[in-house]
Copies of this chain bind each other. A is one copy, B any other.
Amino acid sequence: MTLERPTPTAARDAIADGLDREALVTVFGRCTVDYDGRASSQLAAGDRHVMLKPDGAALVHTDEGQQPVNWQPPGCAHDVFCEPAAGADGSDGSETDGSGSGSGSDDVTASDTDTATLVLESTRSTPEERLLVCFQDVLQVSTFAGTDEGELTLSGTESDLRDRILDSPDLLESGFTPLATERDTSAGAIDIYGEDDAGRTVVVELKRRRVGPDAVSQLRRYVDALERDLHADATLRGILVAPSVTERAQRLLGEHGLEFVSLEPTDE
């Protein structure tokens, strides 16, 4: 269902209906966006694409960037209503209390339609967050009732890299024997815990792509923790497995006596 250049009240009714029917709702038009919660932001008027999902997610997209300029995570409560004659600043005013909840009980009637402003509000608690989109102009409202049972199959992940090594431990090094995955230590879980051909304990940390210093520190935390946990007299080996390392990470590995093995998540 699609409306082009609807009046604010017609847009409001179509959106409210879409939300009721658990449809995916999109609105395109000139709007301001205000967010307050974990941080806070304001965005002056511009033409943007807003998507409200039936799971409570909200996305505001400009014509640039992969990421939305503003958003709200799934689980939020969406509300739509009209305000008599709000200016560009919709963040203030009387909407901080819950008087307008439900489906817009204090809304404007159809007779005020040409001066009214369409407002989308999305809120959640834990943490308390509010997103407010105020439309000066609505160019399109659409609702989509589709279904999606399709499951995404993804390969080339860290878990594929783990499986690859478990299937062929020699890819890590000749004589390596995996003993556990996700082995717990006081610093967190080790990706692969095993033994080399000399019986030395080996801690393996996996990364699906080129690694920097953070991955080295992570491996080091695990090796340190395991040494403590085991009161190990013998030195443990720590091996970072990834397609490649940055130079700084390489140096860090050396400083901490850790090793690197180059391996990709999939065999081409």
Q: Residues of A at under 8 Å CB distance from B?
A: 2, 4, 24, 26, 28, 30, 32, 38-49, 51, 53-55, 57, 59, 61-66, 69-74, 139-140, 142, 144, 146-157, 187-188, 208-209, 213-214, 217-218, 220-221, 248, 252, 265
Contacts and interface: CB of A to CB of B under 8 A. Distances in A.
Nearest to A23: B63
A157 B39 CA distance: 7
Nearest to A212: B188
B156 A221 contact: no
B44 A150 contact: yes
Given A30-B146, A63-B54, A187-B248, A41 B218 contact: no
Contact of A47 (B2, B54, B148, B221): B148
Nearest to A54: B63
A144 B156 CA distance: 35
A214 B214 contact: yes
Given A152-B69, A155-B40, A221-B217, A146 B26 contact: no
A144 B153 CA distance: 32
Nearest to A68: B66
B63 A73 contact: no
B156 A39 contact: yes
A126 to B, nearest CB: 14
Nearest to A137: B146
29 contacts: A2-B140, A2-B142, A24-B49, A28-B146, A39-B155, A39-B265, A40-B154, A41-B152, A41-B153, A45-B150, A46-B146, A46-B147, A46-B148, A47-B148, A48-B146, A53-B61, A53-B63, A57-B64, A59-B66, A62-B150, A66-B72, A69-B152, A139-B146, A142-B142, A187-B252, A188-B213, A188-B248, A214-B214, A217-B217
A187 to B, nearest CB: 7
